Structure 1
Amino acid sequence: MLHKLIRREEARVAAELGTFLDSSRDLAAVLKEIVRLVFDLENRWGSVLFRDVIGLYFSPARPENDEWTDHPTIVLLAAEIMRARNRGEFFADVDAFRSAVFFLLGLYALVTTMRTETPGRDGLLDKYVASELRSLRAEAPSPAQ
């Protein structure tokens, strides 16, 4: 039953992200939208259920045959990273799929270890997105970023 809930919500989040991606977006906007969608999911489920479900991804009991291709949000994010890499915005050797997985795992870890009411939570997540973008960029960001 829980597995069905997780898959259904993953599909719903991916559908919302897909709609967001119907118009051209830069990767910063995509990452921020993913953060928003994760917050929405946490609000719908409640923080206790959300943390329990996310904890399953970090559990040794996680199915061994669980592949990144089973997670539509990872697939969509990887495709966006690949497009940006192909446009020359990121280092040529950026592994789009691993970068997508690293971003989402880091995001889930941050969200699950901070309470909703944690002061500065939004600012920390903004810095996380900025850090992810800096790690991928082929050129140094301008001082304003």
Structure 2
Amino acid sequence: MVLREQKSERGRKGLQTRERLLGAAIAEFTRAGLAAADIGAIVSAAGVAHGTFFFHFPTKEHVLLELERREQDRIAAELTRSYRRPHDVRTTLTKAVDALDGLERRLGNRLFKDFLALHFSTTRPPSEEWTAHPVIVAVVEDLQRAQQRGEIPAEVDVMLNGVSFLVGLYALLITLPPSPAIREPVVAEYLTTYLYGLRAQ
């Protein structure tokens, strides 16, 4: 019984340390960007030894992977809620754009771009199938429902279109300046192009 309580206490402290490191790392990434982030500054802010960072996160990209997992779950839940209300295919895609706008507001532009760039990183830890990405799943499943309702022709590959829409959107948002005057018309045209490809009614 005592041993179990000691393990439980160690586990709780380990989770607290991980959360402190994650918060300190995100603050440092926001300040300096992923590439220039200083691990010394992160461990100092978290109040832990240097090696503790690598015990919890083998690389700086692993911090972003943890952030990605949490934000993907949050965005997917937000999309799933909004998709329960009656809507058209344009709204399916527009809600995904809006969710990313919200993510950028939460993270700030620098961390947001690092977050999206992780999807294209050659040093990213081995990636999973698209079905392991909750945002992609939420969008694709809603497009599949639209197809079942007859709003998208049966011969359209909604899985391929949904995945490529999001990946292309990530690339656009990485490369476009954050100015709404520049970004909004480009994203609107991108959305229209994908709707045409889906031949949505």
TM-score range, shorter chain: 0.7 to 0.9
Partner of 1:42: 104
In the alignment, does 2:149 pair up with 1:87?
yes
User: CA RMSD of the aligned region, Å?
Assistant: 1.6
Partner of 1:78: 140
Partner of 2:88: 26
Amino acid at match of 2:107: W
CA distance in 1, matches of 2:151, 2:118: 34
Partner of 1:132: 194
CA distance in 1, matches of 2:133, 2:177: 25
Partner of 1:115: 177
Instruction: Label 1:87 to 1:22 Cα distance change in 2 as closer, same or farther (>3 A).
Output: closer
CA displacement at 1:118 relative to structure 2? 5.6
Structure with greater helix percent:
2
TM-score by length of 1: 0.87
CA distance in 2, matches of 1:65, 1:29: 29
Structure with max Cα Rg = 2
CA distance in 1, matches of 2:127, 2:180: 35
CA distance in 2, matches of 1:138, 1:16: 23
TM-score by length of 2: 0.64
Amino acid at match of 1:105: V
CA displacement at 1:88 relative to structure 2? 2.6
Instruction: Label 1:36 to 1:23 Cα distance change in 2 as closer, same or farther (>3 A).
Output: same
Identity %: 40
CA distance in 2, matches of 1:15, 1:87: 22
3-state SS, counterpart of residue 181 of structure 2: coil
Amino acid at match of 1:121: R
Instruction: Label 1:52 to 1:65 Cα distance change in 2 as closer, same or farther (>3 A).
Output: closer
CA displacement at 1:72 relative to structure 2? 0.9
In the alignment, does 2:72 pair up with 1:10?
yes
Aligned residues, how many? 139
Unaligned runs of 5+ in 1: 140-145
Unaligned runs of 5+ in 2: 1-62
Determine if contact 2:90/2:195 at 8 Å carries over to the other structure. yes
In the alignment, does 2:97 pair up with 1:51?
no
